[in-house]
Amino acid sequence: MGLFTRRSQESQGTDGAAVATLEVDPGLAALTGDYVIDAAHSSIGFTVRHAMVTNVRGSFADHEGTLHLDGSDPSRSTAAIDVKIASVDTGIADRDGHLRSGDFFDAEAFPLMSFRSTEAGRLGGDTYRITGDLTIKDVTRPLSIDLEFNGSATDVYGNERVGFEGSAEILRSDWGLTWNAALEAGGVMVSDKVKLTFDISAVKQA
């Protein structure tokens, strides 16, 4: 169910040729509005290669954000997300402490990781791309996230919800996260490439 539906009728272009038109799906147009991300039913995670042979997965439990969705014109949609670095959780307390330290995020000096969108658009079907500025520590760089629209529903409390899931890949060194350790057999302890994952449930505001 994409934001636009192709209709069978045609209109005349300025040169007299028939031009197919795209009309807005009224059901999705009705989703236009402001939303708050429900952190209890959302996740922001990451996967990174460890010791060249396996993956370590983690997430940030404490985050908040807002969305503005424009069902008639997706390019006018926006997103803002703040993540508390201290909430990082990989399931190993010592590893989480290392990630919070100055070797990595330096959570005491830079408590938040933030994303502010600058552009949005439809790739096709239910897939969209949102581009913006990702700030980690004192470095801000562009990031594009591909998202799939999972649909909308009214929950048992009468809240209108929308859902998205998506991913992006970054090089952590682009944000100054360069700590590593060499392995005896060659290679390094932590890969530069990190996969970010997003599973978002957001509630429409009155």
Q: Do residues 25 and 5 touch, judged by C-beta distance below 8 A?
A: yes
State how far the Cα of 84 lies from the Cα of 100, in Å rounded to an integer: 11
The pLDDT assigned to 49 comes to 94
pLDDT tens sequence for the chain (206 residues): 443 333 333 444 445 554 434 455 666 788 999 999 999 999 999 999 998 889 999 999 999 999 999 988 999 999 999 999 999 999 999 999 999 999 999 999 999 999 999 999 989 889 999 999 999 999 999 999 999 999 999 999 999 999 999 999 999 999 999 999 999 888 999 999 999 999 999 999 98
Amino acid at 112: L
The pLDDT assigned to 32 comes to 95
Q: Do residues 43 and 81 touch, judged by C-beta distance below 8 A?
A: no
Q: pTM of the prediction?
A: 0.85
Q: Cα dihedral sign for 49, 193, 129, 34?
A: positive
The pLDDT assigned to 89 comes to 98
